[in-house]
Amino acid sequence: MNVKSIGIGLVGSGMGTTILRVNNETDSRIMVRGIYEPDKLRRHQRYDVGKSLKDLAEEFKVDFVTEDFNELLGRKDVNCIAIFSPCPCHYEQIKSSLKAGKHVIVTKPMVVSMEQAREIVALVESTGLKCLIAQSMRWNSMFVAIHDLLEGGRLGRVIFAEAYYAHDLRKVLDVSPWRYQMPQDFLYGGVCHPADLLRWYIGEADEVFAYGINGGLDKRYPANKENNFIVSIKYRNGIIGRVLGAFDLVHPPNLWSQSFHGVGVGIYGSKGSLFNDRVVYDYYPQGTPIEEKVVPKKGDCDHAGEILTMLRHFEECVIKDKKPLVSHRDGAQIIAICSACWESIRTGRPAKVSREFDV
């Protein structure tokens, strides 16, 4: 049993309350010691549906809950701020946390503009503090298995790649009205998931051509703002790819061989082709296609499992002074891709992806 020596201050009691489960992990040094939530009557939207913040704090032994962000920053038993607030709030909260000498975990997207990304990158590097971007798919065991398969050369030379995130968000908007009130930018806040997966699998993007449309299903979301996207990508290594991000549509059928969420990938190579959890290896000129399943090494394919695995990685980064798998510069690279997508949508032309955040 480890001493709980890394204190977390949680910002936001929506999706972020998933990290509270680390308090019950006896072999982890991490402990959530405080929660900032301006709306104490809010009830968690997904994993502990219907539980109040008070009940969650009692269940996971969090003694400090506040409506004042500065009170959380001022606590000496908090070493890191975990930011799971609405996207437009990230920039100021990251800045304040770093200036207070706290490490940062922030849910995707890191920020929502190139200007903000530049400032956060500079601030992280001037402080020497850790900043991990919670692109949670990177810790999903299924997507890790696909990454390992690619790294092992099983598919050969990659020719083409695609990724999608298709999710009917109307019920999510019911419980998180900020998404249509602020509103959420679904390029930065949604397309970032499949875009980051392909960046992890394929490499850095060079150029994009993007289209966007408003689905018109949810009338609460501003009609003049796009919430469904198709993006063609040319990578620096010559591979071409595409990304679909669709958030105002009727949820499509599951495209996995098991129950899974609305994110998926297709990788097409010289030795085989993969789509989600199935792969076919080259059989030409003899034989017939044989389909195999991709089997993860462990079972944390759900969001809660991803987050716990991510926290264990962050713990190691702090203790051993290691670079996070998704660092501040990785987060900024995704902002650069999304920013180029917006440029393409507005101009009707291809747009180059900035290289200023190259790791």
Domain ranges of the chain: 6-135+304-326, 138-299+334-352
What value does the CA radius of gyration of the chain take, rounded to a whole number of Å?
20
How many residues would you count in the chain? 359
Whole-prediction pTM: 0.95
The residues with which 307 forms a beta bridge, in sequence order, are none
**In this structure, what token pair is assigned to residue 271?**
């030795």
Q: How many CB atoms lie within 10 A of CB 285?
A: 5
The backbone torsions φ and ψ at residue 259, rounded to the nearest 5 degrees and listed phi first, read -65, 125
What homologous superfamily does CATH list for 138-299+334-352?
Answer: Dihydrodipicolinate Reductase; domain 2 (3.30.360.10)
Element (H, E) at 201: helix 192-202
User: Is CATH 3.40.50.720 correct for 6-135+304-326?
Assistant: yes
Q: How many CB atoms lie within 10 A of CB 115?
A: 12
CA distance 49 to 41: 13
pLDDT string in tens for the chain (359-residue length) = 678 999 999 999 888 888 999 999 999 999 999 999 998 766 555 545 567 888 889 999 999 999 999 999 999 999 999 999 999 999 999 999 999 999 999 999 999 999 999 999 999 999 999 999 999 999 999 999 999 999 999 999 999 999 999 999 999 999 889 999 999 999 999 999 999 999 999 999 999 999 999 999 999 999 999 999 999 999 999 999 999 999 999 998 888 777 677 899 999 999 999 999 999 999 898 888 889 999 987 766 677 789 999 999 999 999 999 999 999 999 999 999 999 999 999 999 999 999 999 97
Residue 28, classified by CB atoms within 10 Å of its CB into exposed (0-12), middle (13-18) or buried (19+), is middle
**CB neighbour list of residue 346: distance below 8 Å, 6 or more residues apart:** none
